[in-house]
C-alpha cells in the first residue's frame, strides 16, 4: 500500500495554527483519522488536549454567573455542567481559577433517622440521596459507617415482602408432593434469591389451593387468557430461598418421607391433589377407585411399595405408551374396598384440594355402603337352605 505523503510543516500548520481536527485533516488528505494521529506522533506534535495556547479558550463563563448558580441557586457542579454542555471537570477547574470555594460536602444524617428511612420505610439509597441533595455513594458510606446492613441486589429490586418457610415437616411433605405433580419451579437468576413456582389451570379449585399454599409466603401474580377456546389461569408465586427444597424436581421420593408414615401420607395427599383422580366406576357403581397417572414411573413404584408395607393392597403400576411423548405414561389404580376405605380415611383430613376432598367423601360413603351390602348378602347366602344343601352335597361328593 502506498504511503500518503503529508509534510510535517503543513500538518503542524493545519493542526496547531488553523486548529483543524484530525478528522478534518483526514478528509483533506483522503485518509483515515488514525493515519493523521500516527503522523502527529511521528513528527512529535503534541495532541491539542495536552497543549493550550495563551488567551484561547473554547469555554467562557462569567465568575458572577458561576458563583450565582453555585452558591445562591445551590446548583451542583453536575447541574451547571449540563447547562453549559461541558464536563463537571471543566466547571470544577473554572471555579478554582475564579477562586470560588466549594461547599462543605459533609452530609449530617443521624443513625436513627437513616435506619428509619432505609430499614423501616425501605427507601432506596437513591431516594434518600435526593432528600438530602447528595450522591448515592455518600449514603452507602454512611450506611457502612453506622453498621447498617446494605440490601443485596435481589432485596433492593424486591417490591413485595417474602417470608421464610415455617419448616413444618407435614406441610413440607405436602408441598413436595404437590410441586412434583403440578408445579414448574425455577430460579430466574442462578445467583439470585428469588424462586418462582408456576402453575397453569382451568379449574377454580386449583387456583384457590395454589393461593392457600403460597399466599402467606410471597406475592402471587395471576393472568387470565383464552387458549383453544378454554379459559386458562396462569399463576406465579414469588418465594425466597427457604423454598429451595422444591427446586430440581426428580423422579424420586425423599428417604425421610418414606421412613415416616405420616410424612408419606402428607406427600401422597399433595401428589393426589395434583395428579390424582378419585371416583366411582360408571359401569359398576360398586367399584370405587383411586387413580394416579403420571410420567414419574419411579415415584409411582415407590408409592406402591410403601402402601403395601402399610397393609394397603395396591397393584403394581402399569405403563401406557404415548406416541406424542418420549416416555411412557404410568398408571396406579387402587380399587379394593378395604384398601380404598383405609387409605381415604387417612388422606381426607390431610388433603387440601376442594374437589378431591368432595370426591373422596362421596367415594368413601359409596364404598362403605357396598361393603355392608356384600357382608349382609354373604351372611344371608350362608344361612339359606339352598346354600346349606349345596354345601352338604359338595361335602358328600368329597
CATH number of domain containing 214: 3.10.28.10
pLDDT tens across 235-264, in order?
Answer: 999 898 899 999 888 888 999 999 999 999
Answer with the one of 36, 56, 76 that is the final residue of a domain: 56
Write down the pLDDT at residue 393. Answer: 40
Q: Which of the pair, 31 or 393, is modelled with greater confidence?
A: 31
pLDDT at 282 over 80: no
367-395 average pLDDT score: 50
For residue 82 the three cell numbers come to 449540563
Q: What share of the chain is helix, strand, coil (3-state, %, to 5)?
A: 50, 10, 35
Determine which of 93-102, 238-247, 345-354, 364-373 has the lowest per-residue pLDDT on average. Answer: 364-373
DSSP-assigned states of every residue in 42-71: HTTPPPGGG---TT--S----HHHHHIIII
354-368 average pLDDT score: 88
Write down the pLDDT at residue 214. Answer: 92
pLDDT at 137 over 60: yes
Quick one: 270 and 346 in the same domain? yes
- Specify if 159 maps to a domain: no
pLDDT at 200 over 90: no
Quick one: 210 and 306 in the same domain? no
Quick one: 220 and 313 in the same domain? no
Q: Domain residues for 193?
A: 169-246
Residue 171 binned pLDDT confidence (cut-offs 50, 70, 90): very high
Quick one: 281 and 337 in the same domain? yes
pLDDT tens across 337-349, in order?
Answer: 888 888 999 999 9
Phi-psi domain of 77 (left: phi exceeds 0; alpha: psi -120 through 50; beta: other): alpha
- Specify if 77 maps to a domain: no
Query: Element (H or E) spanning 12, and its range?
Result: helix 8-12
Q: In the chain, pLDDT over 90 holds for what percent of residues?
A: 20
Quick one: 128 and 179 in the same domain? no
Write down the pLDDT at residue 322. Answer: 67
Determine which of 189-198, 226-235, 308-317, 375-384 has the lowest per-residue pLDDT on average. Answer: 375-384
Name the most confidently modeled range: 72-81, 84-93, 180-189, 385-394. Answer: 180-189
How many distinct structural domains can be found in the chain?
Answer: 4
Write down the pLDDT at residue 177. Answer: 92
- Specify if 190 maps to a domain: yes
Answer with the one of 246, 266, 287 that is the final residue of a domain: 246
Write down the pLDDT at residue 48. Answer: 67
Q: Which of the pair, 19 or 244, is modelled with greater confidence?
A: 244
Quick one: 375 and 270 in the same domain? yes
pLDDT at 309 over 60: yes
Residue-averaged pLDDT of the chain: 82
Q: Which of the pair, 49 or 274, is modelled with greater confidence?
A: 274
- Specify if 363 maps to a domain: yes
- Specify if 119 maps to a domain: yes
pLDDT at 397 over 50: no
Three-state DSSP class for 321?
coil
Quick one: 263 and 235 in the same domain? no
Distance CA 215, CA 188 (A): 20
Quick one: 269 and 375 in the same domain? yes
Residue 299 binned pLDDT confidence (cut-offs 50, 70, 90): very high
pLDDT at 52 over 60: no
304-309 average pLDDT score: 91
- Specify if 269 maps to a domain: yes
Quick one: 266 and 369 in the same domain? yes
Query: Element (H or E) spanning 330, and its range?
Result: strand 329-334
pLDDT at 153 over 80: no
Distance CA 166, CA 174 (A): 13
Q: Which of the pair, 77 or 106, is modelled with greater confidence?
A: 77
Write down the pLDDT at residue 261. Answer: 92
Quick one: 276 and 324 in the same domain? yes
Quick one: 239 and 300 in the same domain? no
pLDDT at 175 over 90: yes
Strand-pair partners of 320:
329
Distance CA 217, CA 243 (A): 10
- Specify if 78 maps to a domain: no
pLDDT at 54 over 70: no
Distance CA 108, CA 35 (A): 54
Answer with the one of 15, 32, 56 that is the final residue of a domain: 56
Quick one: 5 and 49 in the same domain? yes
- Specify if 90 maps to a domain: no
Q: What number of residues does the chain have? A: 398
Give yes or no for a contact between 195 and 183, defined as CB atoms under 8 angstroms apart: no
Strand-pair partners of 330:
294, 319
Write down the pLDDT at residue 73. Answer: 85
Write down the pLDDT at residue 172. Answer: 93
Phi-psi domain of 161 (left: phi exceeds 0; alpha: psi -120 through 50; beta: other): beta
Apex 34 CA angle, 33 and 35, nearest 5: 90
207-214 average pLDDT score: 91
Amino acid at each position: 500500500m502506498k504511503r500518503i505523503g503529508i509534510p510535517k510543516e503543513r500538518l503542524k500548520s493545519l493542526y496547531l495554527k488553523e486548529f483543524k481536527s484530525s478528522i478534518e485533516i483526514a478528509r483533506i488528505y483522503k485518509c483515515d483519522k488514525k493515519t493523521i494521529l500516527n503522523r502527529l506522533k511521528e513528527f512529535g506534535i503534541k495532541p491539542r488536549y495536552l497543549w493550550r495556547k495563551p488567551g484561547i479558550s473554547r469555554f467562557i463563563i462569567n465568575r458572577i454567573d458561576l458563583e450565582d448558580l453555585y452558591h445562591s441557586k445551590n446548583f451542583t457542579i453536575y447541574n451547571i455542567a449540563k447547562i453549559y454542555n461541558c464536563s463537571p471537570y471543566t466547571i470544577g477547574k473554572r471555579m478554582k481559577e475564579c477562586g470560588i470555594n466549594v461547599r462543605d460536602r459533609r452530609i449530617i444524617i443521624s443513625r436513627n433517622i437513616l435506619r428509619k428511612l432505609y430499614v423501616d420505610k425501605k427507601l432506596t439509597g437513591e431516594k434518600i440521596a435526593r432528600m438530602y441533595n447528595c450522591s448515592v455513594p455518600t449514603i452507602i458510606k454512611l450506611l457502612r459507617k453506622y453498621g447498617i446492613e446494605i440490601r443485596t441486589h435481589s432485596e433492593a429490586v424486591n417490591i413485595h415482602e417474602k417470608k421464610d418457610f415455617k419448616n413444618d415437616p407435614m406441610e413440607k411433605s405436602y408441598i413436595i408432593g404437590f410441586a412434583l405433580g403440578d408445579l414448574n419451579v425455577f430460579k430466574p437468576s442462578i445467583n439470585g434469591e428469588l424462586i418462582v413456582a408456576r402453575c397453569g389451570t382451568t379449574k377454580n379449585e386449583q387456583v384457590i389451593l395454589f393461593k392457600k399454599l403460597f399466599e402467606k409466603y410471597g406475592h402471587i401474580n395471576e393472568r387470565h387468557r383464552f387458549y383453544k377456546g378454554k379459559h386458562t389461569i396462569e399463576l406465579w408465586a414469588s418465594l425466597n430461598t427457604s423454598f429451595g427444597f422444591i427446586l430440581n424436581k426428580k423422579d424420586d421420593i425423599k428417604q425421610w418421607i418414606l421412613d415416616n408414615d405420616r410424612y408419606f401420607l402428607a406427600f401422597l395427599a399433595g401428589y393426589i391433589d395434583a395428579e390424582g383422580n378419585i371416583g366411582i366406576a360408571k359401569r359398576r357403581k360398586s367399584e370405587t377407585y383411586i387413580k394416579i397417572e403420571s410420567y414419574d414411573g419411579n415415584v409411582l413404584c415407590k408409592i406402591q411399595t410403601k402402601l403395601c408395607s402399610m397393609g394397603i393392597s395396591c397393584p403394581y403400576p402399569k405403563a401406557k405408551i404415548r406416541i406424542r411423548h418420549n416416555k411412557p405414561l404410568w398408571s396406579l389404580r387402587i380399587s379394593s374396598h378395604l384398601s380404598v376405605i383405609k387409605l381415604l380415611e387417612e388422606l381426607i383430613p390431610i388433603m387440601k384440594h376442594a374437589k378431591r376432598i368432595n370426591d373422596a367423601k362421596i367415594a368413601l360413603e359409596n364404598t362403605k355402603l357396598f361393603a355392608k351390602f356384600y357382608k349382609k348378602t354373604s351372611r344371608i347366602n350362608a344361612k339359606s337352605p339352598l346354600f346349606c344343601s349345596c354345601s352338604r352335597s359338595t361335602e358328600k361328593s368329597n
